[in-house]
Amino acid sequence: MDPGETPRDAARRELFEETGIRAPLLPVPAAVTVRSCHPDWAATVGVTFLQVLDRRMRLNPEEGQPAAWLPLDEPWQGWFAEDRLRMQECAEQILKA
């Protein structure tokens, strides 16, 4: 987060920087996590916001930020294995609403 940014504002900014997409985010965080990428590093708090988008939208990330639409029902790699499951659960809840 940049100084003075709320977690939601930071998520919206990061969405644009990493995908080129400007979109409102759902008002309530989908998840809040506390975790560390390495045992010797301090833990960080992650706040995840969602938005339903059409995957046909063109991704236009800034240089050095590869972006791709990923299916939630197939394995994909990330820093944390539980991320895919969390996103899949959130998507299912949104579809039921």
Burial of 13 (0-12, 13-18, 19+ CB in 10 A): middle
pLDDT of residue 79: 62
Determine contact, residues 44/83, Cβ cutoff 8 Å: no
pLDDT of residue 19: 92
So where are the chain's domains?
7-68
Residues 6+ apart with CB under 8 A from 14: none
Tallying the residues shown for the chain, one arrives at: 97
Largest interatomic CA distance in the chain: 41
CA distance 93 to 70: 18
Per-residue pLDDT of the chain (97 residues; tens, 9 = 90+): 899 999 999 999 999 999 999 999 988 888 888 888 788 999 888 888 888 888 889 999 888 888 888 877 777 776 676 777 888 888 888 888 7
